[in-house]
Amino acid sequence: MKRTTTKLADGRELTYYDLDESAARDTVDRRALDPVDSRPELRLDLTTGDWVTIASHRQGRVHHPPTDACPLCPSADGHHSEIPAADYEVAVFENRFPALAGRFGRCEVVCFTPEHAASFADLTEGRARLVLDAWTDRTARLSSLPGVEQVYCFENRGVEIGVTLAHPHGQIYAFPFVPPRTAKMIAVAGTHRSVTGGNLFEDLLAEARSAAARVVLAGEHWTAFVPYAARWPYEVHIYPHRRVPDLTHLTEAERAEFPGLYLDLLRRFDRLFRPEGGPEQTAPTPYISAWHQAPRRGGEELALHLELFTVRRSADKLKFLAGVESGMDSFVNDIAPEDAAHRLREAAA
């Protein structure tokens, strides 16, 4: 992998990741951009102890532009985007409308491909591996920044999720605090250790692998399974068989196997809601794909894993977070985890 770092016209950092070691990434950003004016504020919710980010400047971010004005496509005649080059493989840049910035962390955008109409599932295994390597590199670099407590790599896909740009991309948040979900997992894992003497995530993986009804895919180094208490209609967790804290600790064998398994799973998600006897794929399945990594401090019991889930519960129904979920953070799932796993196994090509 070749990494080339440069600057955009307003001083933000842009990094190209290439499989081709000879790739030249010297195109200059010729846009006339005003300096980024992002001043997010962190406020503590005293009733829960959770940090809330106030980022009112994000109201002005780009919202569903036409294809020929997409800011994530390569630059071309008459269109200067966030990517100055006429082509790229994977590109990562600082978000112009960040929720976190300066001493309050950092937000980056990860462009998976220059193809506007593609998706992550359309990538080759080689290109998916390049994205994995980019995630790993960004995890290492962002973790070293002063004040960063946790690095979170994720992808939102689909208007149903709230995506404002159709181009296939993900994001990375470098949090200056430990987010609530991670804090809760740390507490539960600590209790599990004190009660059982074992590691919570190792035990969860062992239990899932022994419960064949909830396993979707399994390889030599990774297993994808529906959790026993899945919150979302179709939710799959992917664990490496060897517990590691974050992406930087994976072995070459683990990195090599992951892209094929992950691409298989994404394509199964897209086949979930095709009509009986209909085309291979209708509307792409909306999803969130989220890497959970241990924070810099206090996460010794945590384990790297990826959580992939969709808000779609049938071809024409969505799972809305209404009064119980949004008001009380108490989930009700309409699909039994064993049934979800069965349907995903049946969704093979």
Question: Which are the catalytic amino acids?
Answer: 169
Reading the block at residue 18, the tokens are: 């290439």
Reading the block at residue 31, the tokens are: 């846009």
Strands (E), the chain: 2-7, 13-18, 41-45, 50-54, 90-94, 106-111, 150-157, 169-175, 215-218, 222-225, 234-240, 287-292, 305-310, 312-314, 317-318
Do residues 257 and 222 lie in contact, with contact meaning Cβ atoms separated by under 8 Å?
A: yes
Q: For strand 41-45 and strand 50-54, is the pairing parallel, antiparallel, or unpaired?
A: antiparallel
Reading the block at residue 81, the tokens are: 């985007």
Sequence letter at residue 103: R
- How would you class 36 by CB atoms within 10 Å of its CB: exposed for 0-12, middle for 13-18, buried for 19 or more? middle
Tell which residue, 107, 102, 103, has the closest CA to residue 61.
107
- How would you class 264 by CB atoms within 10 Å of its CB: exposed for 0-12, middle for 13-18, buried for 19 or more? middle
Do residues 200 and 328 lie in contact, with contact meaning Cβ atoms separated by under 8 Å?
A: no
Tell which residue, 77, 124, 76, 71, has the closest CA to residue 96.
71
Tell which residue, 163, 148, 242, 249, has the closest CA to residue 201.
242
CA angle 169/273/225 to nearest 5° reads 70
- CA dist 55 → 39, 61, 97, 219 (Å): 7, 11, 9, 42
**How would DSSP label each residue in 66-119?**
-GGG-TTSBPBTTB--SB-SS--SEEEEE-SS-SS-GGG-EEEEEE--S-TT--
